[in-house]
Amino acid sequence: MLNITETQQKLAAAFGPSGQESEAAGVIAEMAKPHCDEVYTDRLGNLIAYKKGAGKAKVMFSAHMDSLGLIVTHIDEKGFLWFSNIGGISVWRIYGSAVRFQNGTRGIVFMGGKADAKDPKTADLYIDIGAKDEESARNAVFVGDVAVFDQPTFPIGDGLLASPYLDDRIACAALLAAMEGLPECENDLYFVFSSQEELGIRGAKTAAYGIDPDYGFAVDVTGTGDTPDHKPKTECKLRGGAAVKIMDASVICHPKVVAWLEEAAERENIPHQREILIGGGTDAGAIHVSRAGVYTGAISIPTRYVHNPLEVCAIGDVEACIKLVRAACNISL
C-alpha cells in the first residue's frame, strides 16, 4: 500500500483551489492510471477513475480534490494584496499564516491597523509578498490570482499527521490506496476526485448525474470532539477508526447503507465509530438527491482543526478508512 504520509505530502503540495484543480488533478491522475481501466475529466473539472467490474451495480466514491483559497481583489499603491475568500475561511484561523501562489510567489497574511480587533473581517486582511511598490507587486501577481496555504506535511506525536489540506487531500490519498491491487469486483467502480466542493458540493452534483450510480459514498474528513472544551459535544475522535456518517447538514445517510457499512466493519475487524457532523456537508449531499435518488453513505476520517492552515489526523484512522472503502466496493442491498 502506498505510503500515506508521502502521498499526502505530494497531494498537499499540488495547487488546486476550488475552480482551479487541474494541477492537483494531474498529480492524482498519474497515481490512479495504473489501477483503473479509464481516467478522464468531465466539463466541471471532476477527475473520474473508472474500474470495470461485472456490472451488477455502479458504485461511486467521491473525495473532493479542491482546497480553500484566497483570491486577490485589489493591489494597493504600496504593493500589498487585498483578497476575498474561496470557501469557508475564518479570519482568526489564517491570520499570520504563510501562503503561496501558483507561480511560486509567497507571502504572509496580516491585518490592517484600522481593523476592529474584536470583530475582524476578511476585508481587514492583506497579503504581504515583500513588494517594494504597486508596480513590483503587479509584476508578480494579478488580480484574480489565488493563494493557498504554504505549510509542511509532517508526523507528530503517536501516529498522527499534520498537514495543510487534509480536507480533503487525505481522502483522495485513501481512494488511491484503496484502488491498489483491488481484486475483480461484481460492481463497476467510479472513483471521483471532485471539484468545487468547498463552494457548495458543485462537482459531485454533475459527476453523480453523469455516472448515475446505484450506490454513492462521500469520502471526506470530519471534525472531532476530542480537543479541550470542544463545543458542541460530539463523540468522533482521533484513533477511533473510520467514521461512519449518520448525518450532517447536507444529508441523512440511508439507514440501510449505514447498517451495511457497520456490519462490514464488524465482519472485517475494521476499527470504526459513528459520526454526526453538526454543521457543514460533504459530496454525499449532492449524490443522494441525484436523478431519482441514490443509496448514499459517507466514510469519514476524523480530523482536528478543519479549515485551518494546518490540520491533524491519525494514520490508523486513514488505514481503517481505506479498508472500509475497499469493503464498500462490494456493497449489495
- Catalytic residue numbers read 197
Biggest alpha carbon–alpha carbon distance for the chain? 64
Q: Do 264 and 183 form a contact (C-beta atoms < 8 A)?
A: no
Inter-CA distances, 320 with 218, 264, 265, 302, 325, Å: 15, 12, 9, 11, 9
Say how many residues make up the chain: 333
Inter-CA distances, 312 with 119, 185, 196, 221, Å: 27, 33, 22, 10
User: What is the rounded CA–CA span in Å between residue 301 and residue 317?
Assistant: 6
DSSP letters of 108-172? EEEE-TTS-TTS--GGGEEEE---SSHHHHHHH--TT-EEEE----EEETTTEEEETTHHHHHHH
Give the side-chain half-sphere CA count within 13 A for 188. Answer: 14
Q: Do 176 and 34 form a contact (C-beta atoms < 8 A)?
A: no
User: What is the rounded CA–CA span in Å between residue 293 and residue 104?
Assistant: 43
> Rounded to 5 degrees, what angle do the CA atoms 93, 160, 326 make?
105
Q: Do 324 and 299 form a contact (C-beta atoms < 8 A)?
A: yes
Please name the helix (run of DSSP H) or strand (run of DSSP E) that holds residue 321, with its range, or none.
Answer: helix 315-328
